[in-house]
Amino acid sequence: MQIQHTTLNDMGQNMLFHFTSKHIPITIAVFFLSMISGCFERNINLEVCGLNYTSLHIDEFTVNGYSGANISANGGGGGFTCCIALPRKWHEGMSVKIRWTNDGTKFQNYKERTVAVPKYSDKDLGFLAVHFYPDDSVKVLVTNHTDSFPGYPYPRPANKSP
């Protein structure tokens, strides 16, 4: 009877061969899946805040279909609704669709604008401010400041004296 002596080194080589021959396809698949998972955008949920710079009450507004509630004439900025999902990292060509009604017909005559989202960074991630102007233009901003903050890019227009 012959006894076969197996050393630790022989066992390691056998285990390595066993692993590589059976698990290469799985290892490659896991590697590539982890590589492409970084290509998908990661979103962040931001609260929505409306700022009405018009003399008309905004009955309702939405951002990409998510409700932003109502805003009194020349009001807003104090209330938030939850939430809109935006990419954590800004990219060229980002836009949102804003729908609103402000003629007292309560949800019958909507106005709609597709609005470019200005560049933002991680330090800006607070909420999405939606600004409504008297000429029916709309601007949005990802920010953590209100319109009364010094240097705010879309400040509330000054009241005109009669």
Q: Which two tokens stand for residue 123?
A: 């330090």
Contact 128/84 with Cβ under 8 angstroms?
A: yes
Residue 27 pLDDT greater than 90, yes or no: no
In angstroms, how far is CA 13 from the centroid of its own chain? Answer: 50
Residue 1 pLDDT greater than 70, yes or no: no
What distance in Å separates the CA atoms of residue 96 and residue 149, rounded to the nearest whole number? 24
- Tens digit of pLDDT for each residue in 91-143? 999 999 999 988 766 667 889 999 999 999 988 898 999 999 999 999 999 99
Listed in sequence order, the DSSP H helices in the chain are 8-37
So what CATH class is 43-143? Answer: mainly beta
- Where are the domains positioned within the chain? 1-40, 43-143
Q: Label residues 103-137 b or e (16+ Cβ within 10 Å = b).
A: eeeeeeebeebebebeebeeebebbbbbbbeeeee
* pLDDT at res. 66: 87
Q: What is the CA radius of gyration of the chain?
A: 28
Residue 40 pLDDT greater than 70, yes or no: no
Instruction: Label residue 31 exposed, middle or buried (CB < 10 Å: 0-12, 13-18, 19+).
Output: exposed
As a whole number, mean pLDDT of residues 47-56 equals 91
Q: Label residues 35-63 b or e (16+ Cβ within 10 Å = b).
A: eeeeeeeeeeebebbbbbbbebbbbbbbb
| CA distance from start to end of the chain | 114
Residue 12 pLDDT greater than 60, yes or no: no
- Among 5-9, 39-43, 157-161, which is the least confidently predicted range? 5-9
pLDDT band, very low/low/confident/very high, at 159 (cuts 50, 70, 90): low
pLDDT band, very low/low/confident/very high, at 51 (cuts 50, 70, 90): very high
Arithmetic mean of pLDDT over the chain: 78
Residue 32 pLDDT greater than 70, yes or no: no
As a whole number, mean pLDDT of residues 34-46 equals 64
